[in-house]
């Protein structure tokens, strides 16, 4: 029964903020209805053309806001999918190389797995080298942990080449996947540090606030108490779209709509261990 209910009414991650806003809007609407019923205050009749114009303007702004937020979320998902693939390919190509020992492969695996974990923490605003699996005893304190680990990986490959464990052709095969780590990190940082322009967000929120605050006064005289559920339903969807877009536009956090970065890190760990033959 619970699964059936969740199928027809799935949970909404932003429900706490949304429900609070809808309750406040319902109370405000009830106050507006009481004022209109008990006082001689008259409000101009809500015109159909005005309602259509307001809905059109808000629709355009909400459509843009929602599209931009989802594009950022989807780009973040593609970048982490690319990180999974490059991590797999790097280890798959390194595993059969005859010059590498079991210890060499283990060092490679620790760096590949550690980079994913460090990137997750870095994008969430809290990264330290000793938090990364396999580096708990490290005393270094780099400011940019993913960059530090990517440098360690590049140094490892160069060391193998200098020791004769890799040929130039082997290095040519491995280098694109190792270099992709910082490309992905930079692209994720671009999403993280470049929000939707403030003017678009401000204009939409100003429009939503003015629209929802004025609607109870425009329809309260005609619908009376039916105005409360009508405005609540209207506010639920309009505010819900805005709050969801706000939740989605930063896909690397810990909110319900954000990407499951910990799950992607576990996928990389399992894939690397399997590709390198690690227990």
Q: State both tokens at 23.
A: 């309750």
Residue count of the chain: 279
Q: Within a domain: residue 22? A: no
- Residue 279's pLDDT is 42
- Interior/surface letters 180-203, b for 16+ CB within 10 angstroms, e for the rest: bbbebbeebbebbeeebeeeebee
Q: Within a domain: residue 269? A: yes
Q: Within a domain: residue 82? A: no
- Distance from C-alpha of 279 to C-alpha of 105, rounded to nearest angstrom: 12
- In this prediction, residue 163 has a pLDDT band, given cuts at 50, 70 and 90, of very high
Enclosing domain of residue 168: 98-194+260-276
User: What are 62-99's pLDDT values in tens digits?
Assistant: 888 889 899 999 999 999 999 999 999 999 999 999 99
Q: Within a domain: residue 57? A: no
Q: Within a domain: residue 154? A: yes
Per the model's pLDDT, the better-predicted residue between 12 and 64 turns out to be 64
- Distance from C-alpha of 45 to C-alpha of 42, rounded to nearest angstrom: 9
User: What are 197-252's pLDDT values in tens digits?
Assistant: 888 888 888 888 888 888 888 888 788 889 999 999 989 998 998 888 888 889 99
- Interior/surface letters 104-130, b for 16+ CB within 10 angstroms, e for the rest: bbbbbbbbbbbbbbbbbbbbeeebebe
Q: Within a domain: residue 5? A: no
Enumerate residues 6+ apart whose C-beta is below 8 A from 247. 13, 14, 255, 256, 257, 258
- Distance from C-alpha of 86 to C-alpha of 91, rounded to nearest angstrom: 9
Confidence (pTM): 0.87
- Residue 15's pLDDT is 80
Per the model's pLDDT, the better-predicted residue between 182 and 44 turns out to be 182
**Averaged pLDDT of the chain:** 88
- Distance from C-alpha of 177 to C-alpha of 173, rounded to nearest angstrom: 8
Q: Within a domain: residue 222? A: no
- Mean pLDDT value of segment 10-30: 88
- Distance from C-alpha of 116 to C-alpha of 122, rounded to nearest angstrom: 10
Domain count, the chain: 1
Q: Within a domain: residue 212? A: no
Under 8 Å between Cβ of 192 and 123: yes
- In this prediction, residue 257 has a pLDDT band, given cuts at 50, 70 and 90, of confident
User: What are 107-140's pLDDT values in tens digits?
Assistant: 999 999 999 999 999 999 888 888 999 898 888 8
């Amino acid at each position: 029964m619970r699964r059936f209910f969740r199928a027809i009414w799935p949970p909404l991650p932003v429900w706490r903020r949304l429900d609070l806003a809808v309750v406040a809007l319902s109370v405000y609407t009830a106050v507006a209805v009481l004022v209109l019923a008990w006082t001689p205050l008259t409000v101009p009749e809500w015109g159909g053309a005005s309602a259509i114009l307001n809905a059109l303007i808000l629709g355009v702004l909400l459509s843009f806001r929602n599209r931009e937020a989802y594009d950022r979320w989807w780009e973040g998902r593609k970048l982490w999918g690319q990180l999974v693939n490059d991590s797999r390919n790097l280890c798959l190509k390194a595993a059969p190389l005859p010059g590498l020992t079991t210890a060499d492969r283990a060092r490679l695996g620790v760096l590949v797995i550690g980079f994913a974990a460090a990137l997750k923490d870095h994008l969430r605003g809290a990264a330290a080298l000793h938090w990364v699996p396999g580096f708990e005893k490290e005393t270094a304190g780099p400011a940019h942990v993913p960059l530090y680990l990517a440098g360690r990986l590049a140094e490892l490959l160069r060391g193998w080449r200098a020791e004769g464990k890799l040929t130039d052709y082997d290095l040519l095969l491995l280098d694109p996947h190792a270099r992709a780590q910082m490309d992905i990190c930079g692209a994720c940082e671009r999403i993280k540090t470049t929000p939707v322009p403030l003017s678009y967000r401000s204009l939409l929120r100003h429009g939503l606030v003015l629209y929802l605050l004025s609607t109870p006064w425009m329809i309260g005289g005609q619908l009376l108490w039916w105005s409360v559920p009508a405005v609540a339903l209207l506010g639920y969807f309009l505010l819900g779209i805005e709050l969801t877009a706000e939740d989605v536009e930063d896909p690397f956090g810990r909110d319900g709509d954000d990407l499951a970065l910990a799950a992607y890190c576990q996928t990389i760990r399992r894939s690397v261990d399997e590709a390198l033959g690690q227990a």
